[in-house]
Amino acid sequence: MIRKCLRIAGLAAVIVAAVLLLIAALYVSAHAQQPAPASAEVKVDNFSFGPGTLTVAAGTTVTWTNRDDIPHTVVSTDGVFKSKVLDTDDKFSFTFTRAGTYPYFCSIHPKMTGKVVVQ
């Protein structure tokens, strides 16, 4: 009786382990298919945004960092987001929740333009 119980317990343990492995494998594969981590960077350098066009998944938080000796801003052309003035090394972040194309510019140096494409 004890031996039978042990056999059943051993079998159950194997099954549980197999199920756990399967769940883990499914979990990993599901997450591996996510397009990108939920954050992205834009550098402001030499009076330009890099990359000029950034493509991200919905839900991504984009962070701009000003690496120039001159202050800049990040202002959505359509009024969706607007940073305060960013001095050297200052950052501005915005989370894009909806798909679409978001053009933006530096309101101090309007020749500086860029866009974020959210898929």
Partner 1 sequence: MVENTKDELLHDHNHDGIDRRGFLKCMAWAGTGALCVMQGGVLKSYSLSQMSRLDGKPAMGELSFVQISDSHMGFNKAANPDVVGTLKAAVDKINGLATTPEFMLHTGDISHLSKPEEFDTVDQILKGATPRDVFFVPGEHDMLNDDGKQYLERYGKGAKGAGWYSFDTKGVRFIGLVNVLNLKAGGLGTLGLEQLQWMKNDVKHLKHSTPIVVFAHIPLWSVYPDWGWGTDDSGQALAYLKKFGSVTVLNGHIHQTMQKVEGNVTFHTAASTAFPQPQPGKADSPGPMKVPAEQLKSLLGITHVDCVRGQHALAVVDSTLG
Kindly state whether residue 65 participates in binding partner 1, applying the rule CB under 8 A.
Answer: no
CB of 69 to partner 1, least distance (A): 4
Residue 53 touching partner 1 (CB under 8 A): no
Q: Which of residues 96-115 bind partner 1 (CB under 8 A)?
A: 103-105, 107-111, 113
CA–CA separation, 24 vs 13, rounded Å? Answer: 16
H or E, element range at 115: strand 113-118
Query: Residue 104's closest CA among 75, 82, 61, 66?
Result: 75
Out of 43, 48, 51, 55, the only residue in the binding site for partner 1 (CB under 8 A) is 48
Binding residue (CB under 8 A) for partner 1 from 69, 79, 89, 98: 69
Could you say whether residue 84 binds partner 1 (CB under 8 A)?
yes
Write phi, then psi, for 27 (nearest 5 degrees): -60, -50
Binder among 62, 68, 92, 116 for partner 1 (CB under 8 A): 68
**Cα separation of 58 and 96, whole Å?**
6
Starting from the edge strand earliest in sequence, which strands make up the sheet with 48-50, in order?
Answer: 48-50, 39-45, 60-66, 91-96
Binding footprint of partner 1 on the chain (CB under 8 A): 46-48, 68-71, 73, 77, 84-85, 87-88, 103-105, 107-111, 113
